[in-house]
Amino acid sequence: MLTWLAEFAVYFTPLNLFRYITFRTGGAIATALFFVFFFGPNIIRALRIKQGKGQPIRTDGPQSHLLTKKGTPTMGGLMILSGLFVSTLLWANLANHYVWVVLWVMLGYGAIGFYDDYLKVTKQTHNGFSGWSRLACETGVALLACVAMMEFGTPHMTSLALPAVNGYVADLGLFFLIFGPFVIVASGNAVNLTDGLDGLAIVPVMIAAGTFGIIAYLAGNAIFSSYLGINFVPGAGELAVVAGAVIGAGLGFLWFNAPPAQIFMGDTGSLALGGLLGTIAVAIKHEMVLAIVGGLFALETLSVIVQVASFKLTGKRVFKMAPIHHHFEQLGWSEPQVVVRFWIIAFVLALIGLSTLKLR
């Protein structure tokens, strides 16, 4: 929205700064951060009053959780998404189609997650939204986003790119309408599974957002993309502003979510942020890099799949508890140890993901 101020640069030269993505990304970070930080206490207070008993805690999990986390309100994703949305509207170029597609997925997944959280809180049970119904809604939102990207994106939007290959390896054609939604849905649910300890999900999300913000900026710049040998995606650079808003809102939320958490992100935030990351990856044609940068989320998801498959086939469990962060808690790691070590893993994976830019 503020990009229009650049039109008056002929009268006041400093206004020309609003033309630059880097400047607006910094503005988006600061705006989202202060929005969440300023309104956070009131949101937490309102949610605590409305929810009463807060988010139900797993009785089969670490017993310390029943003592320290009981009564903590959830739906903290409302803080993140509101700050992110306001900041994006202010600092992004709203004529950019990619911005609206990403916001569509974020808000759609946020609404699905909110309904799931609402059912869990009101019924005080872990059985929220029906699994298949929820998956169908997620797929529908992601499918519409991919159709929009096919309509307004580049001619290569339906093509597949690999980290070690220059150019595109294949045109998926209509199969893109299966592949694209799969990436978005998988990303949303992977982040959702990771959100199980105080601060565990939000920092890796910020790390991934920062990584994809850099890649989006480079992919959207003809000179930089040509130098690096990555695929040029006109208009994709604007997604760096959205990624910046994720970082700012995430930092603000972390202030309240740091152990011991005053509020949980809930499905409202984790599902929406995961879907947002997946949509950015699809838009900038770095879906495969998402598997590297978001490797921590993939590991959490894989641990659940392995655990369920092993138990159904053999009656035995591979891990003491899934997702895998609970496995390490059961091994004797303290919650802060698990969280910080997983942050380190996420940071290393992000560096590996960035290094793929020079593999071409």
**Residues 102-114: tens digit of each pLDDT:** 999 999 999 999 9
Question: Is the peptide bond between 260 and the residue preceding it cis, with omega within 30 degrees of 0?
Answer: yes
Cβ–Cβ under 8 Å, residues 114 and 78: yes
Decide if 12 is inside a domain. no
Decide if 190 is inside a domain. yes
Decide if 125 is inside a domain. yes
pLDDT at 272 > cutoff 80: yes
- Residue 59: the pLDDT is 54
Decide if 333 is inside a domain. yes
Mean of the per-residue pLDDT values of the chain? 91
Decide if 2 is inside a domain. no
Q: Tell me the two tokens of residue 33.
A: 């951060």
pLDDT at 333 > cutoff 80: yes
Average pLDDT over residues 129-135: 85
The pLDDT-based confidence of 64 (bands split at 50, 70, 90) is: low
Amino acid at 185: V
% the chain with pLDDT above 90: 72
Cβ–Cβ under 8 Å, residues 203 and 194: no
pLDDT at 62 > cutoff 70: no
- Residue 3: the pLDDT is 87
pLDDT at 142 > cutoff 60: yes
pLDDT at 52 > cutoff 70: no
Secondary structure (3-state) at 315: coil
Amino acid at 130: S
pLDDT in tens, 159-176: 999 987 888 989 999 999
pTM above 0.95, yes or no: no
The values of phi and psi at residue 9, to 5°, are: -65, -20
Decide if 13 is inside a domain. no
- Residue 212: the pLDDT is 98
pLDDT at 353 > cutoff 90: yes
The pLDDT-based confidence of 154 (bands split at 50, 70, 90) is: confident
Average pLDDT over residues 66-93: 87
pLDDT at 230 > cutoff 70: yes
128's CB contacts (< 8 A; 6+ apart) are: 115, 116, 117, 118, 119, 120, 267
- Residue 126: the pLDDT is 66
The pLDDT-based confidence of 129 (bands split at 50, 70, 90) is: confident
Decide if 16 is inside a domain. no
Decide if 241 is inside a domain. yes
Number of structural domains the chain divides into: 1
pLDDT in tens, 292-301: 999 999 999 9
Q: Tell me the two tokens of residue 180.
A: 């694209």
pLDDT at 224 > cutoff 60: yes
Which range of residues forms the domain containing residue 75? 21-358
